[in-house]
């Protein structure tokens, strides 16, 4: 991949001067998936993202590439089959980013939602799950005894555990996956830029669209395109309003939050699924390096979608859920990271709870030719993109065929799955290969050229200073938050530690981005203020990493 393929200045110049078949609005997983699908078919493809790639929901999911075993209970058999097929494709096309992850479901002898009667039904559901897709990864579920279950999570209240099931699904760093797809799209000819917002459609209503007006770096220019694809997630109605001149009110955002705690508080070596008392939901407890994250919630969200915050009630919900299952209760003092995502669910008049809304996707083509893709989930992004570009091809009167089923993402070339481990690994080599795949050599080359870049970016976390330089030079990172929240995931793992490190990060990437001292100070202050707002919204104390992480 050439540097110019994913160079923002080059992309902005091309957006302003070239003509495209397809302009995709939105740089989340769905948008970049559409860009890769369209570009690989040979369509002249452009994508603009007003903030950063994966800056919305696509960096704030549960980070699971899964069929969704709970969807079997909702009789969403087709969705489960489709999801498990997409899981297998993702494992093949991005083995450095997507990995098989075992999940433990404890069977509780008393005072538990999963008793022995329910366990029998769950076992039948797991056989169905295996037959639907588990055989593709050569991993099928099994039942284990009490001792084996407690070995996987010693902090479980042992007196209630009678046995457990283990089944297998997938995991991925959602932001890294989104970025890899965007870069692969660029390598296939797409013109991609972040920090570029659509302010107006050219055409719309009953008039066929012929492009969009875009603002980037204070400059306004027109991007000419025959088709516009609206892949903006929870912001989809904003683009539809520009097109249709009325708010369609089609999206029902569902809020999902996660909290991060030191791994030593949970000590689980695989993911664990725990039912929530007095609720028809479960939570995931997933190891991630020296931390464990817990989530998620699923509640209606009616506030502004720009910067949703984790609240005191959100944190209490998850703490109550996990504390019902473990020996030593967690407190707010243990919460070292939080994140909030908004699921762009399709509004349904007959559904009372967002948890009951289908995760299927929907595609709508307006009278002017704007194609809107909404709904869906992380796992099925490729299928969503394929369906969307099929619709675009019909509008363009072109016969094209999806080519992404066997299209490796950047970093997969020459990569062997044995080179990586799950997110719970703390090995430095695993850290690099599980984030960059075969590109990890570029990080090592940076360190070889300047050994200072081999030092930690944030004290107590495995990220290297070289990764910040790589993010700016090759991954279109434009700000401190881009580096700490999405190119690395430091902000999710250790909120306040990243605030302390922000000035060092600013001084490191500032010269790469042409910032003077005043601009570095401004950016550092903005980042630290966002951390303070995040902490205060959830009524959390300032918590630096405990000694066992540093």
The secondary structure of 222-260 as a DSSP string is EEEEEEEEE--GGGHHHHHHHHHSS----EEEEEEEEEE
Which pLDDT belongs to residue 374?
94
Lowest mean pLDDT among 40-54, 127-141, 297-311, 404-418: 127-141
| Interatomic CA distance for residues 408 and 399, integer angstroms | 23
pLDDT in tens, 151-200: 999 999 988 888 999 999 999 999 999 999 999 999 999 999 999 999 99
- Write out the CATH class of domain 101-170+252-345: alpha beta
Q: Is 365 exposed, middle or buried (0-12, 13-18, 19+ CB in 10 A)?
A: middle
CATH 3.40.50.10090 fits 417-537, yes or no: no
Which pLDDT belongs to residue 517?
98
Question: Cα separations (Å) of 83 from 169, 391, 417?
Answer: 11, 21, 21
Answer whether 65's CB lies under 8 Å from 378's CB: yes
CATH 1.10.8.870 domain span(s) along the chain: 417-537
Which pLDDT belongs to residue 308?
93
CATH 3.30.9.10 domain span(s) along the chain: 101-170+252-345
Q: Average pLDDT in the 129-156 region?
A: 85
CATH 3.50.50.60 domain span(s) along the chain: 3-58+175-250+356-406
Pairing of strands 370-375, 219-230: parallel
pLDDT band at 135 (very low <50, low <70, confident <90, very high): low
Cβ contacts of 375 within 8 Å, gap of 6 or more = 344, 345, 346, 358, 359, 360, 361, 362
Residue 115 has pLDDT above 90, yes or no: no
Going by the DSSP 8-state scheme, the letter that residue 325 receives in this structure is T
Which pLDDT belongs to residue 537?
96
Which pLDDT belongs to residue 548?
52
Q: Average pLDDT in the 492-507 region?
A: 98
The structural architecture, per CATH, of the domain 3-58+175-250+356-406 is 3-Layer(bba) Sandwich (3.50)
Q: What percent of the chain has pLDDT over 90?
A: 75
pLDDT in tens, 518-545: 999 999 999 999 999 999 999 999 987 6
Which pLDDT belongs to residue 67?
82
Cis peptide leading into residue 296 (ω within 30°): yes
pLDDT band at 352 (very low <50, low <70, confident <90, very high): very low
Which pLDDT belongs to residue 547?
57
Residue 439 has pLDDT above 90, yes or no: yes
**Alpha helices of 153-306 — where are they, by DSSP H?**
174-187, 236-244
Adjacent-strand bridge partners of 341: 256
Token digits of residue 85: 């097929």
Q: What is the mean pLDDT of the chain?
A: 91
């Amino acid at each position: 991949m050439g540097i110019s393929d994913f160079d923002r200045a080059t992309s902005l110049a091309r957006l302003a001067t070239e003509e495209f078949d397809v302009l995709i609005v939105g740089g989340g997983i769905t948008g970049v998936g559409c860009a890769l699908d369209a570009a690989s078919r040979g369509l002249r493809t452009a994508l603009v993202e007003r903030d950063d790639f994966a800056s919305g929901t696509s960096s704030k999911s549960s980070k699971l590439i899964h069929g969704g075993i709970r969807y079997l209970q909702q009789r969403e058999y087709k969705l489960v089959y489709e999801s498990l097929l997409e899981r297998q494709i993702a494992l093949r096309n991005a083995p450095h980013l997507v990995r098989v992850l075992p999940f433990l479901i404890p069977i509780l002898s008393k005072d538990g939602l999963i008793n022995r009667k329910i366990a029998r039904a769950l076992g039948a559901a797991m056989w169905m799950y295996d037959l639907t897709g588990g055989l593709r990864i050569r991993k099928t579920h099994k039942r284990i005894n009490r001792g084996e279950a407690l070995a996987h999570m010693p902090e479980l209240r042992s007196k209630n555990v009678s046995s457990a099931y283990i089944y297998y699904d997938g995991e991925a760093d959602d932001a890294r996956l989104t970025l890899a797809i965007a870069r692969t799209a660029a390598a296939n000819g797409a013109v991609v830029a972040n920090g570029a917002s659509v302010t107006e459609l050219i055409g719309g209503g009953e008039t066929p669209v012929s492009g969009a007006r875009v603002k980037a770096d204070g400059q306004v220019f027109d991007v000419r395109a025959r088709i516009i694809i609206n892949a903006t997630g929870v912001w989809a109605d904003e683009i539809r309003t520009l097109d249709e001149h009325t708010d369609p009110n089609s999206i029902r955002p569902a809020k999902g939050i996660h909290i991060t705690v030191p791994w030593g508080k949970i000590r689980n070596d695989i993911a664990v699924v725990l039912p929530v008392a007095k609720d028809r939901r479960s939570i995931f407890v997933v190891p991630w390096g020296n931390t464990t994250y817990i989530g998620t919630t699923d509640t209606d969200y009616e506030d502004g979608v720009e910067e949703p915050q984790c609240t005191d009630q959100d944190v209490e919900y998850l703490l109550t859920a996990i504390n019902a299952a473990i020996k030593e209760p967690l407190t707010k003092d243990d919460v070292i990271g939080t994140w909030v995502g908004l699921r762009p669910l399709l509004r349904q008049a007959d559904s009372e709870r967002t948890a009951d809304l289908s995760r299927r996707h929907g595609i709508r083509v307006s009278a002017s030719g704007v194609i809107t893709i909404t709904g869906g989930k992380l796992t099925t992004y490729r299928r969503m993109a394929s369906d969307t570009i099929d619709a675009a091809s019909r509008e363009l009167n072109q016969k094209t065929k999806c080519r992404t089923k066997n299209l490796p993402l950047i970093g997969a070339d020459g990569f062997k799955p044995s080179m990586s481990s799950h997110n719970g690994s703390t090995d430095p080599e695993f850290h690099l290969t599980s984030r960059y795949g075969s590109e990890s050599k570029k990080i090592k080359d940076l360190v070889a050229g300047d050994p200072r870049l081999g030092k930690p970016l944030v004290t107590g976390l495995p990220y290297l200073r070289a990764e910040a330089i790589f993010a700016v030079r090759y991954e279109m990172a434009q700000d401190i938050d881009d580096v700490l929240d999405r190119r690395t995931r430091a902000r999710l793992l250790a909120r306040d530690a990243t605030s302390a490190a922000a000035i060092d990060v600013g001084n490191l990437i500032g010269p790469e981005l042409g910032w003077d001292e005043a601009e570095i100070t401004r950016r550092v202050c903005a980042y630290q203020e966002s951390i303070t707002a995040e902490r205060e919204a959830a009524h959390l104390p300032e918590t630096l990493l405990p000694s066992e992480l540093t």
